[in-house]
A = this chain, B = another copy of it.
Amino acid sequence: MSRRIQITFLGTSAGSPSIKRGLPAVLVSDGLREILLDCGEGTQHRLLRVGISVHRIDMILITHLHGDHLFGLPGLIASMTLLGRVRELKIAGPVGIREYIEANIKFLSALPFRIRLLEIEPPEKVTTLYREENFEIQCVTARHTIEACAYALIWRVPVGKFDPEKARKLNIPIKYWKKLHYGETVTLEDGRVIRPEDVVKVRHRGTIKIAYTGDTAPTETIIELAKEADILIHEATFSAEEDPHTIWKQGHSRTIDAAEIAKRANVRTLILTHISTRYEGIEEKLLQEAKTVFPNTHLANDFDKYYITTS
């Protein structure tokens, strides 16, 4: 039994796009679901480029209602509508997300699918926003110029060896094997409920955790959220050379702020994103700044992929 989570950076710029960097959006795929973190303008075009149908998106988590993180949402919903989606789409975001979506879907044909909206008052303490059997989304307030959320995605993964002989003996159709293999309980057509433990020798239970900040100044709340995460995706709009107080007042972080948060949260890997276009061509310098504080840092480029695997 193993689990592979894939993170694809669809857009890594801040505010305005460049030829090299699109507007913020990160796709997280866990083999069973596809989750978008923010949805800047052009996200649907970038999904085409990475070969992910818009129908496969299960959930969109919007960190805050600034255009650069948001303006890809109406077009994505438009294409889902045109291409005949029927499956429910979940969208979470701070208060105001409902008004934004309603104001924009007026300019579309009637939706053939339901949008399930989770409108959030960003909480001061880390709070569970959504839960499935082995999967959970947490959120906490970030520190920006408007209400903003940071999110953590957490998988609880039974780790062990899948036994196909057992599965065959129990007459479990092959289409359910992947879910069981990924640690999800399934209900068969004949009504039997099969738990992963029925077909797998569980050695131990692991956890995979990804935290994503959206726009934020460095803040204790994100240290709480990101505690022991495998990957923290933290905004780093500015270089360490900028005056911290000016940057923080703008609700943003410098490279070394993000690195300090990663260190204090004891995460495994830090990935910097939301890179201001002013640094085009000198991203290596930004990366080195962060590495002086937190060595295991990466800087995201558009279409970069990262993987987390348990086995």
**Interface positions of A (Cβ within 8 A of B):** 15-19, 22-23, 40-42, 44-45, 48-49, 65-68, 70-72, 74-75, 78-79, 82-83, 100, 103-104, 107-108
Contact = CB atoms under 8 A, between A and B. Distances in A.
Across the A-B interface, the 4 shortest Cβ-Cβ residue pairs: A103-B103, A41-B75, A67-B78, A16-B79
B75 A67 contact: yes
Q: Is the interface of A mostly helix, strand, loop or mixed?
A: loop
Contacts of A72: 41
Contacts of A44: 16-17, 41
Contacts of A49: 19
Q: Give the oligomeric copy count.
A: 2
B22 A45 contact: yes
A82 B15 contact: yes
Contacts of A79: 15-17
B107 A75 contact: no
Contact of A65 (B67, B82, B83, B107): B107
Contacts of A78: 15-16, 67-68, 71
A237 B269 CA distance: 48
A82 to B, nearest CB: 5
Contacts of A68: 75, 78
22 contacts: A15-B78, A15-B82, A16-B82, A17-B44, A18-B48, A19-B48, A23-B75, A41-B41, A41-B44, A41-B45, A41-B72, A41-B75, A65-B107, A66-B107, A66-B108, A67-B74, A67-B75, A67-B78, A71-B75, A71-B78, A71-B104, A71-B107
